[in-house]
């Protein structure tokens, strides 16, 4: 597991995207499980908060196509 520090104005989604190039529900859930104290910081994190990043399986970043005619 890798440890990082937040930048002023970070949100959990922004931090996940910047560090892991993912901000989906499973990545966010894994981060909250590793960092339960993070909720005390509020939706916008102050600078310098230590965060443990989850180790996630790599996923295809290709979006799924949705058709109105399916």
Alpha-carbon 32 to chain mean position: 9
Q: Judge whether 6 and 48 are in contact, CB under 8 Å.
A: yes
HSE, side-chain direction, 13 A CA sphere, residue 70: 3
At residue 66 the predicted structure's pLDDT band, cuts being 50, 70 and 90, is: confident
Note the pLDDT tens digit of each residue in 11-57: 999 999 999 999 899 999 999 999 999 999 999 999 999 999 999 87
Domain residue spans of the chain: 2-53
pTM score = 0.75
Angle between helices 12-20 and 25-34 (to 10 degrees): 100
């Amino acid at each position: 597991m890798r440890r990082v520090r937040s930048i002023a104005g970070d949100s959990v989604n922004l931090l996940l995207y910047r560090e892991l190039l993912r901000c989906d529900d499973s990545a966010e859930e894994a981060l909250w499980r590793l960092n339960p104290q993070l909720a005390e910081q509020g939706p916008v994190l102050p600078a310098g908060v230590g965060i443990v990043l989850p180790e996630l399986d790599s996923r295809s970043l290709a979006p799924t196509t949705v058709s109105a005619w399916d």
